[in-house]
């Protein structure tokens, strides 16, 4: 009883603190629900092209930041999409279907832009590729205030079902929350031929996530609301969104811990230093639940000597993420699916991820403007040693694609 009351007191104290920090910005239009994007409102038989077009129109209506200069880029980044393979190189089967198809799903507070480069790679391998927009995303951060994980799951189920009749082999893939939703869908669908998981969110690293359900009663935002300057990602983070992924990850993790086996081949890539999701949980799930000998996992780690985790799993390979020649200390959570030449988040794009210094103007300015600031994950160790810019692209992306190609070749 004493422990329970202590948790409640801590939760209320945190809520009051967060309210003081974030309450003053509650009236900002982007921090309110648009009324257009908290549910998945499409019937199961809606043609995918209709879904894409109506979603684009919804984004146009909901976003207050659109203008003639940014409209095309914003809509391109945030809209669901379809990519068809070159049928001269990859002809359809005699029954008219494509041999392979994959549904890709983005992460929490992100957009389909984060998986577009990977989508193009699959397209180049002959896949019919579709990507959905999760409800609450792509419009204003306020649309995550009341959305539920069930609505996200409906969007993924719709995308998978829309693709299924068109392909011989259906794959699912996703980044972060999108990876979790892909696993959730695959656990219910024996017809899924394989999974591609990029930093999947099986367990949230921040311990405060356990309190997010209670905190959402008192306050809307985790920390202060941000300026939301990134047109492809929300910077203000809704407490409800944290609760929804915490609940979703717990459900998937519990089902897998209960003995559910993932029989389909799985390709996964993640950073051991990830500060958003717990890499150790993903490793445990891969070793325990991924039954296929064809499965492969890439672990990015700056540590050459790692503690033993029982019998070595030959399906796991470790890639060195400390790259001094590129001023990279280690790999972050958001960098995994992004190539270095990405026009928005890549090395030469000018994008700098510095939200961890909100409230510290001196370090914020250094992170934003000093090209000599190291790149990496915002671990306590890194932040204690140096001013750091969070790494926004994967320096080893090309190698990851080569490893993924070998995995795909082994499935043929």
| pLDDT 10s digits, 146-165 | 999 999 999 999 999 999 99
Average confidence score pLDDT of the chain: 93
In contact, 81 and 109? CB cutoff 8 Å: no
In contact, 392 and 350? CB cutoff 8 Å: no
pLDDT at 176: 99
pLDDT at 317: 96
Say how far apart CA 58 and CA 42 lie, in whole Å.
Answer: 12
Q: How many C-alpha atoms does 392 have within 13 Å on its Cβ side? A: 24
Which residues make beta-bridge pairs with 300? 271, 319
How far from the centroid of its chain's Cα atoms is residue 51's Cα? Answer: 21
Q: How do beta strands 296-301 and 316-320 pair?
A: parallel
Q: What is the pLDDT confidence band of residue 142, given thresholds at 50, 70 and 90?
A: very high
Q: What is the pLDDT confidence band of residue 308, given thresholds at 50, 70 and 90?
A: low
pLDDT at 31: 95
Say how far apart CA 309 and CA 74 lie, in whole Å.
Answer: 44
pLDDT digits (tens, 9 = 90+) for 264-303: 999 999 999 999 999 999 999 999 999 999 999 999 999 8
Say how far apart CA 250 and CA 212 lie, in whole Å.
Answer: 13
pLDDT at 310: 64
Q: Among 106, 81, 114, 243, which Cα is nearest to 176's?
A: 106
pLDDT of 20 > 60? The answer is no
**How many residues would you count in the chain?**
412
Q: What is the pLDDT confidence band of residue 29, given thresholds at 50, 70 and 90?
A: confident
Cα separation values, 249 from 88, 134, 196, 307, Å: 41, 16, 17, 26
- 3-state class (DSSP) for residue 114: helix
Q: What is the pLDDT confidence band of residue 8, given thresholds at 50, 70 and 90?
A: very low
Strands of 249-384, DSSP E:
266-271, 296-301, 316-320, 375-376
Strands of 273-357, DSSP E:
296-301, 316-320
pLDDT at 353: 97
* Average pLDDT of span 226-231: 94
- Kindly report the pTM of this predicted structure: 0.93
Phi, psi angle pair for 386, to nearest 5°: -160, 160
Say how far apart CA 180 and CA 132 lie, in whole Å.
Answer: 14
- The DSSP symbol for 220 reads S
Q: What is the pLDDT confidence band of residue 309, given thresholds at 50, 70 and 90?
A: low
* Average pLDDT of span 166-175: 99
Tokens of 55: 């979603």
In contact, 127 and 98? CB cutoff 8 Å: yes
Please report the domains of the chain, with CATH numbers, ordered by start residue: 2-260 (3.40.50.1820)
pLDDT at 209: 78
Q: Describe the chain by its helix, strand, coil percentages, rounded to 5.
A: 40, 15, 45
Say how far apart CA 139 and CA 135 lie, in whole Å.
Answer: 9
Task: Please provide the DSSP assignment of 51-113 as one string.
Answer: HHHHHHHHHHHH-TT--TTTHHHHHHHHS-EEE---TTTSPPPTTS-EEEEEEEE--TT--GG
Q: Among 162, 175, 154, which Cα is nearest to 105's?
A: 175
> Could you tell me what percent of the chain has a pLDDT over 90?
85
Say how far apart CA 319 and CA 297 lie, in whole Å.
Answer: 10
Phi, psi angle pair for 389, to nearest 5°: -100, 125
Say how far apart CA 364 and CA 358 lie, in whole Å.
Answer: 7
Q: What is the pLDDT confidence band of residue 90, given thresholds at 50, 70 and 90?
A: very high
pLDDT digits (tens, 9 = 90+) for 35-70: 999 999 999 999 999 999 999 999 999 999 999 999
Strands of 254-315, DSSP E:
266-271, 296-301
């Amino acid at each position: 009883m004493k422990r329970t009351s202590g948790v409640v007191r801590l939760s209320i104290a945190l809520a009051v603190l967060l309210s003081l920090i974030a309450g003053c910005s509650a009236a900002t239009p982007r921090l309110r629900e648009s009324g257009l994007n908290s549910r998945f409102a499409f019937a199961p038989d809606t043609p995918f092209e209709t879904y894409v077009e109506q979603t684009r129109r919804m984004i146009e209506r909901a976003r207050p930041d659109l203008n003639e200069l940014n409209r095309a880029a914003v809509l391109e980044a945030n809209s669901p999409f379809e990519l068809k393979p070159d049928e001269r190189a990859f002809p359809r089967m005699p029954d008219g279907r494509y041999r392979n198809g994959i549904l890709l799903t983005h992460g929490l507070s992100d957009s389909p832009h984060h998986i577009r480069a990977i989508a193009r790679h699959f397209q180049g391998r002959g896949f019919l590729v579709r990507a959905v927009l999760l409800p609450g995303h792509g419009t204003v951060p306020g649309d995550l205030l009341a959305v539920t994980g069930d609505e996200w799951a409906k969007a993924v189920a719709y995308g998978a079902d829309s693709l299924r009749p068109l392909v011989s082999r259906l794959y699912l893939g996703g980044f972060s929350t999108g990876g979790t939703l892909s696993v959730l869908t695959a656990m219910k669908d024996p017809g899924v031929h394989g999974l591609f998981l990029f930093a999947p969110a099986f367990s949230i690293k921040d311990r405060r996530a356990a309190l997010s359900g209670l905190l959402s009663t008192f306050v809307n935002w985790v920390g202060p609301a941000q300026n939301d300057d990134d047109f492809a990602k929300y910077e203000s983070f809704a407490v409800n969104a944290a609760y929804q992924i915490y609940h979703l990850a717990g459900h998937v993790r519990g089902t897998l811990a209960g003995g559910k086996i993932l029989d389909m081949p799985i390709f996964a890539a993640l950073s051991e230093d990830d500060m958003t999701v717990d890499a150790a949980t993903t490793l445990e799930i891969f070793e325990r639940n991924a039954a296929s000998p064809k499965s492969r996992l890439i672990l990015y780690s700056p540590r050459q000597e790692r503690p033993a985790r029982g019998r070595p799993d030959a399906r796991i390979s470790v890639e060195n993420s400390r790259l001094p020649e590129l001023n990279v200390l280690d790999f972050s959570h958001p960098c995994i699916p992004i190539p270095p030449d990405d026009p928005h988040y890549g090395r030469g794009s000018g994008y700098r991820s510095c939200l961890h210094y909100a409230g510290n103007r001196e370090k914020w300015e250094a992170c934003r403007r000093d090209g000599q600031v190291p790149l990496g994950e915002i671990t306590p160790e890194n932040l204690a040693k140096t001013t750091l810019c969070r790494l926004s692209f994967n320096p080893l992306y090309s190698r990851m694609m080569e490893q993924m190609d070998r995995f795909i070749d082994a499935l043929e």
